[in-house]
Amino acid sequence: MGEALIYLVTGGCGFIGEHIVELLCEQGYVSEVRVFDSLAGEEVKKFATATTCVTVMKGDIRDYALLLSAMRGVHVVIHTAAIVDYTDTVPFREMKAVNVAGTENVLKACCTLSIPYVVYTSSIAAVGPNTRQEPMLRGTEDTKYSGEVELPYGKTKAMAEKLVLEANGKELSNGGKLATCIICPNTVYGEKCLVLKDLYTSAKAKGGVLDYLDPEDTERNCTYVGNVAWMHVLAAQNLQLKPDVLAGQVYYSYDDTPTRKGFLVRYQLFYGYKYTFIG
């Protein structure tokens, strides 16, 4: 990795994507971070340094021609762009067009332009819950969890994962091979988390009442967004250094955030205000 590298981050203005952009700009081996986002904003340019520039490109990953133009000259792609929907409010066709067909466009462009490395941001929703709503207890990447994924969002992420894994080892236009790997976060918290912001605003408006739907015995793994972003940076770096080890792998994203009931996690994050919890 002696040369100065150009990274492209799809969805680089999003919650996880923006943190990835910030960390990439701190790496001496990165000369440019390109941000490709349908909601592209200039705010991410503040992460530029004396040695790393940030280029913001507004575009939709469903637009293959525009994506191809943005990816020319890129060495590594970190693909975070997606429609995230845990409430089943986005039409499945629209979500599939972005999360699945958009991922297909990214992989196709990599093969056409001979971009050899892709790190894909998936989700634990691609694993479960299944339609039987069976819990996964202390699961790892090797844990067998059968049944159909319940959430439409999870289905699209599972379909995209399959595309990314099948693309690993695919021949590039220059005769090289594509190397891919997947980072699979669970619940992510941290600065600029809109879900937490909405929960906080709602609870404050209700005089400190924080609603929750989690069963009493449910535990949840949460991971700090800065650590999730750092995992992407390390995965991208080591995918280049040790492709035989990382290529074709899926990595669950965890840190030392304690595993506990979901509503208790939210309570701790909002600590300082008095909340009443109702189920």
The catalytic residue positions are 153
Decide if 139 contacts 170 (C-beta within 8 A).
no
The answer to whether residues 16 and 195 touch, using CB atoms and an 8 Å cutoff, is no
37 neighbors 14 (Cβ within 8 angstroms): yes
* Residue with tokens 């040790």, as numbered in its chain: 242
Question: What are the b/e assignments for 16-26, b being 16+ CB within 10 Å?
Answer: bbbbbbbbbbe
What are 78's two structure tokens? Answer: 């970190």
Read off φ and ψ for residue 5, nearest 5 degrees.
Answer: -105, 150
Return the DSSP state at 124: G
Q: Report the alpha-carbon distance of residue 169 to residue 163 in Å, rounded.
A: 12
Alpha helices by DSSP H, the chain: 15-24, 64-71, 92-96, 102-113, 152-167, 194-205, 225-241, 243-246, 262-269
Sign of CA dihedral 148, 153, 154, 159: positive
d(CA 8, CA 21): 9
3-state class (DSSP) for residue 166:
helix
CB neighbour list of residue 193: distance below 8 Å, 6 or more residues apart? 15, 225
**187-189 vs 209-211, strand pairing mode:** unpaired
